[in-house]
Structure 1
């Protein structure tokens, strides 16, 4: 206490006398540019930044030199080399996210420098005309837990045994050896999150990951094979050959999983029960197609602990056409368990009979339902359809707490 009082009474700054680990945490919270600038505060601060375990190079240089992009590229390259040259101690996290990085030679030099560290978190977001082939020393980052790559060629050497500690893998526009990717995933036993966006086309995507909780795939594939994924809770699947719709789904956006599943032979139940699935989002479901209704029921019936269900109806369907299928023809759904379902959101309803039967069924069988939210697609809702939707508020409800919200 005497020392603290002495510092305060002499009008010196308190921050400089904090414990070194506290100062380090403060510097980590600053942009790297500002952390380096603390070196001019005083002689005591001159070298405090050089031991930072996290180095993040993002777009701040481009923002500062927006009027002169050529200067931004030069300053970025020079800054990175100077920071790496003066840095002392371990580097645990390295982030390079800047569209001005174009030199493959520089990237390889930075990775070579980092290979002497036990990197835990590595991000390389670059925008190049040709994907950058990662150098062999990149695969020596055996302590990696978080990896994000953009516009790279990921082809490990034959001696590579995988990243045994990897928890999260995010690949965007990455060239892969599709036929060997499944074996790579199986060599990452701790993997919990896997994102593959507009990467190499897959003939068959095989996933063997006992700790996987989230899978987000956008791209081209013919088949997908799940093996040993007991903890999988979130799946975002979109099929396409461009990155146009590969952004993370926002409110009102969904993947086309149902249409993908409806192409093959539709099962009443999935081969495995999705015991950990609590939230299910099905997009572009056409209730005038029996296969798509059956697929939706298949997922619902295979998810006994489902708590939240959101269904977005395919607005391209002609709601004025007389439905060719009844909801009851799609599946025998009498034995489905809905005793955990609490929230249902139905978007872009047109009022066709299969839609209404589906809503009736959910209301009558969801014993703990709290909210049924119905949003009509106003351009497709006829006078009769609107009247039927309004009548839903009078339908029997298995849950005394269930409320119907008509938007």
Structure 2
């Protein structure tokens, strides 16, 4: 029995989605029935560092050999040209929707090829999950025309102009890692993401432009449930100071992770968030700056309005023996009546006496 050709389409699709795009394209040689299966897979991922070019230099790559009518001059292409050519061919031959699209590469100074890819996807495909890990790439205006995105990851990209799209995005998960942007652009973009449930801001390159405040930022997150931030990113949005409490509480926030915590300068921001998150269930902090906090203190009496009735898990990493850090741990323990798990990881250079 010809079992491989009798597989249900959904099984074939699942198999192909697990393969690198080059290997998925090679399945076209299995049989006539498999020739075009790879053109219908809904998940496309292109990683330049994993793109395979023949070791014989002038020979075609695996993906290029799959395409009909390849011309001899293609053999003389550089690896990057072949990489873009392969992407173009896949997109042109692709049938049906593309649910997920990933592009990871280190671009040249000119990124017109990436602009073309973004423009094509925004106009012709209902992409739901988009991941761009392209160092120094300035997102074109066509990027803001994606109308069906639910998950967005931007790594090392430049988000430096406001969206032209006037409606609302369907984005529920946004991950910005080492991205470059401004406070006004970030707030304007988030204001169009009213369905956002998960936000990760792992970037410290946010320029303070305009009059956007920390309050403006969190007003854009009415239904956020998971929030992960670098403290330095929040400092960029708090040039006008940190309020004691947000005008509107983050009633849906259940998980809060703050990386790069500096309790000497970031304590007011941390207290702002936990004070404004009455339903917080998990709190995770990672201390990065070891500074002298002996002159500062934190007591339950100073912040008697903070109460965490639902917090059941607390983690803090790189804890030193500074008084303020120990006061903070005691404070969280004292204000969390249903806490079940607490994990305290000490700073690696702490000596035995301080550990005791």
Q: TM-score over 0.5 for the alignment?
A: yes
Q: Which residue of structure 2 aligns with residue 343 of structure 1? A: 313
Contact 1:73 1:101 in 2 (8 A): no
Compare 63-72 and 223-232 and name the one that shifted more: 63-72
Preserved contact between residue 38 and residue 49 of structure 1 (Cα < 8 Å): yes
Superposed, 1:221-260 pairs within 5 Å as 225-227=217-219, 229-238=221-230, 255-256=231-232
Note closer, same or farther for the CA distance 1:380–1:236 as it changes in structure 2 (3 Å cut): same
- Rounded to whole Å, the distance in 1 between the matches of 2:317 and 2:275 is 21
Does 2:171 align with 1:166? Answer: yes
Match in the other structure for 1:16: 5
Cα distance in 2 between the residues matched to 1:187 and 1:17: 46
Query: Rg bigger for which structure?
Result: 1
Count of matched residue pairs: 334
Q: Paired residue for 2:42, among 53, 57, 60?
A: 53
Task: Report the equivalent of 1:25.
Answer: 14
Distance 2:235 2:113 in 1: 44
Quickly say closer, same or farther: Cα 1:68–1:226, change in 2 above 3 A: farther
Match of 1:327 in 2: 298
Higher RCO, Cα 8 Å, sep 6+ = 2
Q: Which residue of 2 aligns with 1:201?
A: 207
Unaligned runs of 5+ in 1: 1-11, 207-220, 239-254, 390-407
SS at match of 1:327: coil
Deviation at 1:263, TM superposition (A): 8.0
CA RMSD after TM alignment = 4.4
| Paired position in structure 1 for 2:67 | none
Counterpart selection for 1:81 from 88, 101, 113? 88
CA pair 189-41 structure 1, distance change in 2 beyond 3 A = same
TM-score between both structures, scaled by the size of structure 2: 0.70
1:108/1:135 contact within 8 Å kept? no
The 5 Å alignment of 1:89-108 reads 89-99=96-106, 104-108=111-115
CA contact (8 A) 1:165 1:190 kept: yes
In structure 2, C-alpha distance between the alignment counterparts of 1:152 and 1:357, rounded to whole Å: 39
Asked if 2 retains the 8 angstrom alpha-carbon contact of 1:152 and 1:173, the reply is no
Counterparts in 2 of 1:116 and 1:310: CA distance versus 1, 3 Å? closer
SS at match of 2:337: coil
Does structure 1 residue 368 correspond to structure 2 residue 344?
no
Query: Measured at CA, do residues 358 and 45 of structure 1 come closer, stay the same or move farther in structure 2, by a change above 3 Å?
Result: closer
Q: Is the 8 A contact 2:173 2:199 kept in 1?
A: yes
Q: 2 CA distance for matches of 1:148 and 1:46?
A: 32
What residue in structure 2 maps to residue 275 of structure 1?
251
CA distance in 2, matches of 1:273, 1:58: 41
Q: 1:335 to 1:26 in 2, by over 3 A?
A: same
Once residues 144 and 268 of structure 2 are traced to their aligned partners in structure 1, the CA distance between those partners, rounded to angstroms, is 45
